[in-house]
């Protein structure tokens, strides 16, 4: 269903997976990867957004480390590699690459100018920073890791952000969740949804903590949010 495009930056170029809607013109959504690269899970999410009427673009944000990473969460060796990539990843450069992706999406022949973003895990953190540092029109963060150290960034946030937080997230402990909630709950642009009993990556199909009902609940909330904010 999808295709590959190349996105230019001052530091070089990288690939992105693109899934196109049937409409001639549509809002775009940038899909921000987990620590496993642009793998089948991310491509399926991208395809799913296209089926909902969005021009969906999933950039290869690990390209500066190694281009075209495509691994799963199904083996110990892949988990080890994923954490190596996570530790080598430069968050600030990643956000700049997301901004380059937003620019490319807006210039696409099918784009109507509106651009949202949705990210998972590492991508959840990056979605939060996309909301605070880029010109995206809206963003959705799924179980972002490390946001508790970045709450001051919300002062720069002027466009809508939806956050999905798993209450039993092993990578975002209760103390971190409390910091996030306290700092962000009264922000006029931020909506926070929490999921009791859910662990990290509860929306990752095929993952250890996948929970179909809450994944569908969060997915429905995400689509309603995008319909409200970018059309």
Q: Which residues are catalytic?
A: 169, 200
Q: How far apart are the first and last CA of the chain?
A: 23
Q: Return phi, psi of residue 21, to 5°.
A: -80, 175
Region of residue 137 (phi > 0: left; psi between -120 and 50: alpha; otherwise: beta): alpha
Cβ distance 28 to 108 under 8 Å? yes
CA distances, 76 to each of 58, 70, 71, 72, 82 (Å): 25, 15, 11, 10, 10
Region of residue 53 (phi > 0: left; psi between -120 and 50: alpha; otherwise: beta): left
Structure tokens at 41: 């899970």
How far is Cα 39 from Cα 53, in angstroms, rounded to an integer? 22
Count of residues making up the chain? 231
The CB-side HSE value for 39 (13 A sphere, CA atoms) comes to: 17
Handedness of CA 171, 125, 191, 21 (dihedral sign): negative
Instruction: State which H helix or E strand residue 19 sits in.
Output: strand 12-19
């Amino acid at each position: 269903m999808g295709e590959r495009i190349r996105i230019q930056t001052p530091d070089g170029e990288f690939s992105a997976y693109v899934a196109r809607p049937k409409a001639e013109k549509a809002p775009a959504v940038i899909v921000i990867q987990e620590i496993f690269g642009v793998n089948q899970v991310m491509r399926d999410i991208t395809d799913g957004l296209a089926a909902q009427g969005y021009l969906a673009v999933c950039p290869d944000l690990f390209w500066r480390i190694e281009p075209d990473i495509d691994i799963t969460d199904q083996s110990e060796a892949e988990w080890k590699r994923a954490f190596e990539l996570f530790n080598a990843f430069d968050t600030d450069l990643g956000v700049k690459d997301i901004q380059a992706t937003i620019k490319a999406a807006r210039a696409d022949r099918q784009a109507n100018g509106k651009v949202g973003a949705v990210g998972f895990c590492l991508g959840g953190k990056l979605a939060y920073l996309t909301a605070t540092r880029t010109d995206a029109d809206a963003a959705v963060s799924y179980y972002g890791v490390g946001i508790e150290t970045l709450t001051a960034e919300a002062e720069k946030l002027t466009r809508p952000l939806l956050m999905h937080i798993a209450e039993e997230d092993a990578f975002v402990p209760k103390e971190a969740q409390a910091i996030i909630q306290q700092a962000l709950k009264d922000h006029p642009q931020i909506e926070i949804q929490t999921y009791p009993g859910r662990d990290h990556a509860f929306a990752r199909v095929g993952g250890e903590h996948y929970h179909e009902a809450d994944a569908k609940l969060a997915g429905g909330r995400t689509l309603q949010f995008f319909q409200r904010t970018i059309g």
